[in-house]
């Protein structure tokens, strides 16, 4: 994961250096670009990813992406007199594709998007009685949202997207060292059963 983050940061620095001599992000008359390569970061699950964009038309973009989560360490909370601690989004990644469409001719930066992919989210918890719990939410997911930016132009492209990710919902398993472990795993199962995740994503890339 650390190597992946370093590669992404290096790519971002290269984009910034290249853009110094050719920074025209806000100009409306920039040349049309059929392809783009980008990096992105998202939340509330901290993550970083790569994205390749291909223009199917001047209004429609096909994006293929891959991302990995940055694990959230030192999670700790108390429920029902039991203290839980652990890590969230460990060894988690996803890939897929998104179709974006620009419906307003006079506002090309505005986009509506929908897509699908496959991935895996993992979480690990230990309770104060020595029980361990593994939460996993994997398989297919869908994404719907809106965005602004990432116009199909040459040079530097910036964008922000907000939307909702829908998965099948998480499953919790336990090693069951005490009699209460199964009931506690069931409670955590209810917490993660929805499979709905808000997503806020920032993207920087280069059109060519």
Q: Is residue 90 part of a domain?
A: yes
- Written as one string, the DSSP assignment of 40-87 is EEEETTTEEEEEEEEESSSSEEEEEEEEEE--EEEEEEEETTEEEEEE
Q: Is residue 163 part of a domain?
A: yes
Answer for the pair 93, 68: CB distance below 8 angstroms, yes or no. Answer: yes
Q: Is residue 78 part of a domain?
A: yes
Residues 87-109: pLDDT tens digits? 988 889 999 999 999 998 888 88
Q: Is residue 26 part of a domain?
A: no
For residue 166, the model assigns a pLDDT of 92
Host domain of residue 174: 2-21+38-207
Q: Is residue 120 part of a domain?
A: yes
What CATH number corresponds to the domain at position 63?
2.40.160.170
Residues 23-67: pLDDT tens digits? 444 456 788 999 999 999 988 888 999 999 999 998 999 999 999
For residue 28, the model assigns a pLDDT of 65
Q: How many domains does the chain have?
A: 1
Q: Is residue 134 part of a domain?
A: yes
Q: Is residue 114 part of a domain?
A: yes
Residues 161-180: pLDDT tens digits? 999 999 988 889 999 888 88
For residue 13, the model assigns a pLDDT of 47
């Amino acid at each position: 994961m650390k190597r992946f983050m370093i590669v992404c940061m290096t790519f971002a620095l290269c984009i910034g250096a290249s853009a110094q001599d050719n920074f025209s992000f806000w100009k409306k008359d920039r040349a049309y670009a059929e392809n783009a390569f980008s990096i992105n970061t998202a939340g509330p699950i901290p993550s970083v990813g790569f994205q390749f964009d291909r223009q199917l038309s001047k209004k429609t973009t096909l994006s293929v992406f891959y991302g990995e989560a940055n694990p959230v360490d030192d999670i700790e909370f108390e429920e029902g007199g039991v203290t839980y601690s652990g890590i969230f989004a460990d060894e988690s990644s996803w890939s897929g594709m998104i179709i974006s469409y620009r419906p307003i001719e006079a506002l090309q930066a505005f986009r509506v998007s929908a897509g699908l992919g496959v991935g895996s989210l993992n979480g690990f918890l230990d309770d104060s009685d020595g029980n361990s719990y593994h939460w996993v939410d994997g398989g297919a997911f869908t994404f719907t949202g809106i965005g602004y930016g990432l116009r199909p132009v040459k040079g530097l492209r910036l964008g922000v997207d907000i939307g909702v990710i829908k998965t099948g919902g998480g499953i919790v398993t336990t090693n069951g060292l005490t009699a209460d472990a199964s009931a506690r795993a069931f409670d955590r199962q209810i917490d993660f059963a929805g499979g709905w995740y808000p997503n806020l994503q920032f993207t920087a890339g280069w059109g060519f």
